[in-house]
Amino acid sequence: MRKLITGLAVVACFFAFCKSNTGSSATGSDSTAAALKRNKQTALNAEMALSKGDVNGLLKDCTANFADLGDGSTKPMNSKDSIKAAFKEFFTAFPDFTGKNFFAVADSNTVIVTGEWSGTFKGAYGTTKPNGKSFKIPEADIFTFDNAGKITLHRSVQSEATTLYQLGLLVPVKK
């Protein structure tokens, strides 16, 4: 189901991007194409920074009032300090956290980056003790940009249940 939803989102954005590019070429608007290319690269750079554990690199192209909505299961984070603290704890629990196979599509002021993330539960996360199990999940990150090419908003599409199941922290419901 997760792959289906991610796939549909990517396909929808791909078609929107193609439509946008066709319109841009027909009107000769190179600035629109350049902004799309810039925003795609900025979003990919943010993902690559996160994959390296570089939270400052992740946040360097974000506006002062940047908000991270996550996947919607928790309260949004509106402070770069709170985001840094959350990632510090996360990277302690999953020191080998990494992403790969990034692919970006863009339209207007939105970029969606898909990729595959993995990590091993090696350190405590809050009150949960590590168990050495790993996860490997697909994810889509949705970035919104301002006119200057700065990230204003981030959303994540992922299956937290799949991650918890792979880590042995969620038992599947018996039918």
Quote the pLDDT of residue 97: 97
Quote the pLDDT of residue 29: 60
- Averaged pLDDT score across all residues of the chain: 85
The identity of residue 150, as a single letter, is K
Instruction: Please indicate, yes or no, if residue 88 is contained in any of the structural domains.
Output: yes
- Please say whether the beta carbons of 73 and 142 come within 8 A: no
Instruction: Please indicate, yes or no, if residue 172 is contained in any of the structural domains.
Output: no
- Please say whether the beta carbons of 117 and 97 come within 8 A: yes
Give the number of other Cβ atoms within 10 Å of residue 21's Cβ: 15
Instruction: Please indicate, yes or no, if residue 173 is contained in any of the structural domains.
Output: no
Query: Which residues in the chain come in under a pLDDT of 50?
Result: 1-28
The boundaries of the domain holding residue 153 are 2-166
The identity of residue 84, as a single letter, is K
Name the helix (H) or strand (E) containing 67.
Answer: strand 62-70
Q: How many domains does the chain have?
A: 1
pTM over 0.85: no
Instruction: Please indicate, yes or no, if residue 175 is contained in any of the structural domains.
Output: no
Q: Identify the CATH number of the domain in which residue 68 sits.
A: 3.10.450.50
Over the stretch 103-133, which tens digit does the pLDDT of each residue have? 999 999 999 999 999 999 999 999 999 999 9
